Amino acid sequence: MKAVNYLMNKSEMDRHEINNFQQLIKIIKPHESNFEDRTKYSLEVVSEKIMDLAEKCVDRDTSTWIHGYKAIPLDFIDKPDHQLCSRFGTLVQKNLHFYLEQITNEGLWDISWSWGSYPESFEKARVFWKGILAVNRYKQLKAFGYLE
């Protein structure tokens, strides 16, 4: 598989690529033996590589999370039993608190990036992204026990 070879030869990756490979692991898991027959890597080794790349990608300076388009721990973690929780340690709780601090009166989060062009299209996309953020973050807050 070209994608796995690509992954295994990378020393760093952006969060979108990492998220795509995280999804690959979920899809491939039921077919683990077939995967290992077709590649020279075990699924465990590939998963470990993805976690290493995620760990390198995350901005650990919590004071900068509000500005720009940075990877933060919960970009890679969906629930408390995720293997990355132990690697990120207290950053996970700081990330959850960051979400709670940033929530608006409407119960949403604003996006922390802009396109710099196409202002009308950006405003439409911004509304959609706020919805996507809300759904994902409420799921995470619930999974971590912050919501009933």
Question: For residue 148, what are the CA distances in angstroms to 22, 40, 49, 138, 141?
Answer: 27, 44, 34, 11, 9
Burial class (CB in 10 A: 0-12, 13-18, 19+), 36: middle
Indicate if the alpha-carbon torsion angle 42, 17, 100, 103 is positive or negative. Answer: negative
Element (H, E) at 88: helix 84-88
Would you state the structure tokens that stand for residue 75, as one six-digit string? Answer: 């970009």
pLDDT truncated to tens, each residue of the chain (148 aa)? 799 999 999 999 999 999 999 999 999 999 999 999 999 899 999 999 999 999 999 999 999 998 878 899 999 999 999 999 999 999 999 999 999 999 999 999 988 777 788 888 988 999 999 999 999 999 999 999 999 8
How far is it, in rounded angstroms, from Cα 105 to Cα 5? 46
Residue corresponding to tokens 């077709």: 38
| pLDDT at residue 119, rounded to an integer | 82
Would you state the structure tokens that stand for residue 14, as one six-digit string? Answer: 């952006």
| pLDDT at residue 116, rounded to an integer | 80
